[in-house]
Amino acid sequence: MSMRDVERAAVIVYHSSPLHEPGSGDAGGMTVYVRAVAVALANLGMTTDIFTRATSEIPRVVELYPGVRVIPIEAGPLGPIAKEVQRRHIPEFVAGIRTFAMSEHHSYDVVHSHYWQSGVAAMELARAWDVPHIHSHHTLGRVKNSNLAEGDFPEPQSRLDGEDDVIRKADVLIASTDDEWRQLACLYLADHDKLKTIHPGVDRSLFHPGDQAAARASLGLGDEAVLLYVGRIQKLKGIDLALRAFSELDSALEKDVRFVIVGGASGAGGEGELTRLQDLAAELGIASKVRFEGPQPHENLPTYYQAADAVVVCSHSESFGLAALEAHACGTPVVGTPVGGLSYIVADGASGFLSESRDPTEFAGRLKTLLSDAELRASFGARAAERAARFSWATTAYEFHELYECLVREDLPQPCTC
């Protein structure tokens, strides 16, 4: 079977448009993932149409890359809507996709959905078109609920029920890590024959080691020690732990230290969390040393990673941890919690430090060890770049293409997931 036998995929990303810049709102690592895989599949000769709910008056079809289109579908009011009411507009969204496909006389070989609400929509489309349905969860409600930050709200039963439905009906469920595979199998009792692990990638032409002094100069930083956080601002990310650890580190290091936070408020409580973190920095007496940069274009992130001595990832849970992988690709050590793919990305004690404890003093101690020893940082940085070299979006896309072809060829998923 040739590489072109599976020619067109319908990708469903209902709640988060790939046209939005990652780092705020609902756009995060999943947005990077969807864009990058579609582009890499296009380089294999495959066409991808990405369907998302329209949130503004933008052109009906946007070419993201040759062979990759984003198609906003009107479903419900234009503009952002609360997640708890988004599901009610899924039938309209599905109808809009089917109308678009018929108007262009398109057929799709596979449907690939991302996040649970997209999975609910994709179940209907796959059944109507009689094509395989592949689903990537990215985050799991039961996992989030078992690792809630203090004061955070649990995922509603409607999400847990929706995930259960998608897990029962999709042909293949994609896990980004072996841990996610086990979570799907044990927490959701997913059929093992439907589970397949495919790791995300990183664009090493964009994320690579660089001149730290030049990167710092471009960001207005000097020779101080620099910590960095990159990602959305929400309670789940545990940025308060990083601030408390930074406060202890600030008085323990002989040199000056800065903490740069790149990202914007996300979710219903995002603005409140941003205000809480700014107030916490003031309360800890470190406000003058903490820079809240807001969300940045993805292509600007390598400069931040290259400028940093260490990247902190203090999340309560993660599906994978693309920021840690991007940091490692730039030769930057990571200090974080062993959640999601962090244990797979970071070699504890060799390319960074991972701590089971959420004790700020322990985190500060790990950071002090790293920031006080230039030789150790250099060793960790070299090992970090080596570990990131195992990942590429081209490899990820190739594995997806092989999976798609197998599902089209075979009557059952087992030969395609083993």
Q: What is the pLDDT of residues 146-186, one digit of tens each?
A: 888 888 888 899 999 999 999 999 999 999 999 999 999 99
Name the one residue in this structure whose structure tokens are 């959640």: 339
Q: Cβ(228)–Cβ(262) under 8 Å?
A: yes
pLDDT tens-digit readout, 64-83: 999 999 999 999 888 777 77
Structure tokens belonging to residue 116: 């649970």
Q: Does domain 8-201+392-417 have CATH number 3.40.50.2000?
A: yes
Return d(Cα 78, Cα 56) in angstroms, integer. Answer: 5
Q: Please enumerate in sequence order all residues whose Cβ is within 8 A of that of 274, keeping only pairs 6 or more positions apart, or say none.
A: 233, 264, 265, 292
Give, for all 418 residues of the chain, the pLDDT tens digit: 344 479 999 999 998 888 877 655 566 789 999 999 999 999 999 999 999 999 887 768 999 999 999 999 999 888 777 777 888 899 999 999 999 999 999 899 999 999 999 999 999 999 999 999 999 999 899 998 988 888 888 889 999 999 999 999 999 999 999 999 999 999 999 999 999 999 999 999 999 999 999 999 999 999 999 999 999 999 999 999 999 999 999 888 888 999 999 998 877 678 999 999 999 999 999 999 999 999 999 999 999 999 999 999 999 988 899 999 999 999 999 999 999 889 999 999 999 999 999 999 999 999 999 999 999 999 999 999 999 999 999 999 999 999 999 999 998 888 899 8
| Triad 209, 210, 211: Cα angle to 5° | 145
Q: What pLDDT sits at residue 23?
A: 56
Return d(Cα 115, Cα 120) in angstroms, integer. Answer: 9
Domain boundaries, the chain: 8-201+392-417, 212-388
Return d(Cα 347, Cα 341) in angstroms, integer. Answer: 11
Q: What pLDDT sits at residue 252?
A: 87
Q: Please enumerate in sequence order all residues whose Cβ is within 8 A of that of 144, keeping only pairs 6 or more positions apart, or say none.
A: 154, 155, 236, 316, 317
Q: Please enumerate in sequence order all residues whose Cβ is within 8 A of that of 282, keeping only pairs 6 or more positions apart, or say none.
A: none
Q: What pLDDT sits at residue 22?
A: 65
Domain 212-388: homologous superfamily in CATH: Glycogen Phosphorylase B; (3.40.50.2000)
Q: Are domains 8-201+392-417 and 212-388 of this chain identical in fold?
A: yes
| Triad 351, 354, 360: Cα angle to 5° | 125
Structure tokens belonging to residue 142: 């039961």
The DSSP annotation for 21-80 comes to PTTBTTBSHHHHHHHHHHHHHHTTT-EEEEEEE--SS--S-EEEETTEEEEEE--SSSS-
Q: What pLDDT sits at residue 25?
A: 57
Return the amino acid letter for 291. Answer: R
pTM over 0.85: yes
Q: What pLDDT sits at residue 365?
A: 96
The three-state secondary structure class of 4 is coil
Return d(Cα 332, Cα 213) in angstroms, integer. Answer: 14
Return d(Cα 36, Cα 365) in angstroms, integer. Answer: 36
Return d(Cα 128, Cα 383) in angstroms, integer. Answer: 49
| Triad 194, 190, 172: Cα angle to 5° | 25
Name the one residue in this structure whose structure tokens are 């709102």: 25
Q: What pLDDT sits at residue 24?
A: 55
Please provide the size of the chain in residues: 418
Sign (positive/negative) of CA torsion 219, 220, 221, 226? negative
62-65 and 68-73 strand pairing: antiparallel
Q: Cβ(388)–Cβ(325) under 8 Å?
A: yes
Q: Cβ(413)–Cβ(172) under 8 Å?
A: yes
Nearest residue to 323 (alpha-carbon basis) of 244, 247, 382, 263:
263
Q: What pLDDT sits at residue 1?
A: 36
Return the amino acid letter for 163. Answer: E
